[in-house]
Copies of this chain bind each other. A is one copy, B any other.
């Protein structure tokens, strides 16, 4: 059984930034790489060929959603996630830890939250009736689909991910919020997230032995610890001492401190393992993460904002519904090589949105995935040729002007 492994290709001197390659049973991933999200075994409104032609190397699906619908047993019977959804490259699955708690407790993702100017709507938990209950053994939660009761333990999460069959799985962890106290963060990390990570790893080791005929599935340990340096360093050392195939850097992070927090983790984590950052796609976040040693990240944003009419340009995100585009017969982004920009005008895409034509979602998602995947590809090239900082400064100055 060939393991999922990582090799460094080039390093940017004086930093943790590097390029490399992750080898998986379903192919290699050149890193840094943006991993496209296909939550429910479909990248929304795109065929796998359209995903692939956007330059995407791998797809990340979600264990929680696929457990509820159609069920991991069905995907297992079909031959695994890649075969099920007709995607031939590498696949990831998230553990469901984020979803059972964020969908269950009514608080939103906290990563991009700003403490100053934060909207209470975004952080006061529970906003709605609580739908999830955490104990030291796992999480009990109500299905968002039909209200039925379910329970995830680390073992259950790994059994689900094993059934789904992705190349890279994540350990089950507890989602915390920036509003939680230091005491809660520390306890959550030491009493739940870390023991759960170990139980996740052991469960996968047990399943690998039970099914030696199956392709190797990696387990990435997830680092929590919010904005606290001592907690982040402690958990990085804890994770480094165990046989994880890679790491997920997650949890509550203030946007302004993203680079710093990633650095604390990656100074300690072993160099020869890949590091994934969960749920980011904002260009400044991606530059900061890569500078401090992150290899891969994923985010739903490119397709989600696309379905809402937003498209990426070098001068920031614009909305196609704007009146100035009504008679604009140029592509979304001049010079862009994506299928959408090669063949369609802003005027046509605006028409599709106004007429509620489904093709609008497809065309916007293709452009946005292509833009973000392409940006990370350029970022990789800038590490290889040593122009990372110049590229970053020019690029970000133009984008956030």
A residues whose Cβ falls under 8 Å from a Cβ of B: 40-42, 44-47, 65, 69-70, 74, 77-79, 84-86, 326-327, 329, 339, 343-345, 347-348, 350-352, 354-355, 357-359, 361-362
Contact = CB atoms under 8 A, between A and B. Distances in A.
A42 to B, nearest CB: 4
B348 A84 contact: yes
A326 B77 CA distance: 11
Contact of A345 (B78, B355, B362): B78
A172 B343 CA distance: 32
Contacts of A362: 45, 47, 358, 362
A206 to B, nearest CB: 27
Contacts of A343: 86
Nearest to A44: B358
A74 B343 CA distance: 17
A353 to B, nearest CB: 11
A119 B50 CA distance: 44
Given A42-B355, A42-B359, A70-B355, 9 more contacts: A42-B357, A45-B362, A65-B355, A70-B350, A74-B351, A78-B347, A78-B348, A84-B345, A362-B362
Nearest to A361: B358
7 A-B pairs closest in CB distance: A45-B358, A70-B351, A42-B357, A40-B355, A86-B343, A42-B359, A69-B355
Given A86-B343, A326-B74, A327-B77, A69 B361 contact: no
B44 A74 contact: no
Contact of A40 (B74, B344, B357): B357
Contacts of A327: 74, 77
Contacts of A86: 343-344, 348
A330 to B, nearest CB: 11
6 contacts: A47-B359, A47-B362, A70-B351, A79-B329, A358-B358, A362-B362
A78 B329 contact: yes
Contacts of A44: 357-359
